Structure 1
Amino acid sequence: MLQLRPTCEHCNTALPPESLDARICSFECTFCANCVDGVLGNVCPNCGGGFVPRPVRPVTDWKGGNHLARYPAETAVKHRPVDPATQAALRERLRGVPPEQR
């Protein structure tokens, strides 16, 4: 089950379950769109993968009990600010490698 983490790991901006600003990698590392574009350069600092928009979990029980009330968002914050020099080195190493090939 996707965790729906509550904040951006870098800047700690709130990313509630309905946020269209949340981005995740395949390991569910969660960042805001501003950090993914402006700080990370679409390179996850934890795994080197790329990011996609995080899906929004339905609030309404449209079918089968699959909704936010039954499967709530995480509450534990993972605030791990990215070191700019380390991220720049990782971005440089992966420059020219598309996310789907990392």
Structure 2
Amino acid sequence: MKKNKEIQNIEEDILDPADIIVTLDLDDNVSVDCEIYTIFEVQDQNYIALVPLQENGERNDEGDVYLYRYFEDENGTPSLENIESDDEFEIVSDRFDELLDEEDFETL
């Protein structure tokens, strides 16, 4: 998983979280536009799953998913934080996989 430094830009003109574009500044000085896949809770902490967009702006369903801790301040301004612990990342990844499995089951 690549790490971000900050949320560079959020375009929030539509209420559906999947329509919000988040621009991540990654460690290697590359910016990546992502779509919010979901925000979910694990052990009283919110996490966000972001899916990188292709150059044409379409979601890359075959690509990576970025997982971060997700916070909002008292004004509702969102921020992300890297998941530093391997144990925490494993727990969050497992929960995200469970959410994907639940979604697949519901579409059957």
Q: Do they fold alike, i.e. is TM over 0.5?
A: no
Structure number with higher strand proportion: 2
Structure having greater relative contact order (Cα 8 Å, sep ≥ 6): 1
Q: TM-score, normalised by structure 2?
A: 0.31
